[in-house]
Amino acid sequence: MPWIGTFQYRFKGFQRQPADHYLRPFYLEEFKNGKKWWGSKSGRYCVGSTLTYKLMMNITEQSYLESACLYANVRNTLQGKFEERMPLMAIRLPEILKRSRPGLAAILQNNSQVLTTPHDIHATILDAMGLERYRSDYKIRGADLSRGLSLFKPIPNNRSCSEAGIEPHWCACVAWDYVPQSEAIYKKIAEAFVEYINSLTQPVSGARDHDGYVGNFDSKFDGLKDYYQIKVSRTKT
């Protein structure tokens, strides 16, 4: 569904083609800007006689994985939380880099099993280009390691989200607890949450989020249920 891609869903996309091989124009034409998808169910998954995912595999010569939609019901599940916080990323090392640094592939393979962030990807690119002198040595307060670490060097297994600069909302190692409605705190949290949201939206007309999207919650809104995530901080008094 190219009309709701990562950079197009509630965004404006690119003014110029961002890559040499960019499949979005092809898929827009193939799907007829969504008409094919919403029209016949029989052909929506194929390009001619070839399944769309097989076509993608043939083009990229790599495995194709359909990521869970961030606006679908799966987002409300535990697996959906992991999908949102840990998207797929694949790295293919250039042959010249593997020859010049023989142990690189093994280190990268080991680092695939530890906590990494986009800051590490930036540090890795600088490392690959021989530009490590431009790498930031910024550290989170109280951390022993820099926030951005090259994936071409061993990363400790005990690296924590706080040390890597990951906010609690995006931490994938957080434990989720179910609070039954019979608990007194259940109603108190709900009331406090609604009261706080109302205090923010009451003086604002046509409230919108950071990317300019205006929610439609008038009398015509027919949503039966919405899900919200609440982060509760507790301090000792």
Judge contact between 98 and 104, C-beta under 8 A: yes
Q: What is the DSSP string of 132-151?
A: GGG------TT-SS-SS--T
- Comparing 186 with 70, the larger pLDDT belongs to 186
Query: What pLDDT is recorded for position 86?
Result: 84
Beta strands in the chain (DSSP E): 46-47, 50-51
- The DSSP call for residue 222 is -
Judge contact between 119 and 164, C-beta under 8 A: yes
Average the pLDDT over each of 1-10, 62-71, 92-101, 163-172 and give the range with the smallest value: 62-71
Average the pLDDT over each of 46-50, 126-130, 174-178 and give the range with the smallest value: 174-178
Distance of CA 95 to the CA centre of its chain: 29
Judge contact between 165 and 142, C-beta under 8 A: no
* pLDDT band for position 67 (cuts 50, 70, 90): very low
% of the chain exceeding 90 in pLDDT: 23
Q: Average of pLDDT values for 54-62?
A: 71
- Number of C-beta neighbours around residue 123 at 10 A: 23
Query: What pLDDT is recorded for position 151?
Result: 95
- The DSSP call for residue 172 is T
* pLDDT band for position 106 (cuts 50, 70, 90): very high
What is the C-alpha separation between 144 and 165, in angstroms, rounded?
A: 12
Q: Name residue 56's amino acid.
A: M
Q: Quick one: tokens of 125?
A: 């690119």
Q: Average of pLDDT values for 18-34?
A: 75
Radius of gyration over alpha carbons of the chain, in Å? Answer: 23
Q: Average of pLDDT values for 63-75?
A: 53
Query: How high is the mean pLDDT of the chain?
Result: 78
Q: Quick one: tokens of 127?
A: 């490392």
* pLDDT band for position 120 (cuts 50, 70, 90): very high
